[in-house]
């Protein structure tokens, strides 16, 4: 899964993309819900592949009408920086 986000570290903001696991996505959604926000089902698109695999696309752009900040979130897997 690909997530576009801004990472704020030591007062610096870095716009980046993360490849995240389903586990981390579920943890992020749980934290958002715990903060009192509700997710709308119409923000999800579902696609079926020929082999029966289902791909689900979530769009969280402007879903809450404001920026969302998750403080002190730790990913399950170690975050690695890749530069080209």
Task: Break the chain into its structural domains and give their ranges.
Answer: 2-58
**pLDDT value at residue 82:** 67
Q: List the end-to-end C-alpha distance of the chain, in Å, as a whole number.
A: 20
Closest CA to 76 of 13, 30, 9, 45: 30
- pLDDT band of residue 51 (cuts 50, 70, 90) is very high
Distance, CA of 68 to CA of 53 (rounded, Å):
31
6 forms beta bridges with: 15
Q: Which two tokens stand for residue 46?
A: 């579902």
What sign for the dihedral angle of Cα 60, 63, 66, 68?
A: negative
Q: What is the tens place of the pLDDT at every residue in 62-78?
A: 566 667 777 888 878 77
Q: What is the tens place of the pLDDT at every residue in 25-34?
A: 888 888 888 8
pTM exceeding the 0.75 threshold for the entire prediction: no
């Amino acid at each position: 899964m690909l997530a576009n986000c801004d990472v704020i570290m030591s007062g610096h903001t870095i716009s980046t993309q993360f490849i995240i696991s389903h586990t981390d996505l579920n943890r992020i959604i749980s934290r958002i819900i715990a903060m009192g926000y509700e997710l709308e089902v119409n923000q999800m698109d579902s696609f079926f592949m020929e082999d029966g695999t289902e791909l689900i696309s979530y769009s969280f752009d402007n879903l809450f009408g404001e920026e969302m900040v998750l403080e002190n979130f730790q990913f399950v897997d170690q975050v690695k920086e890749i530069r080209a």
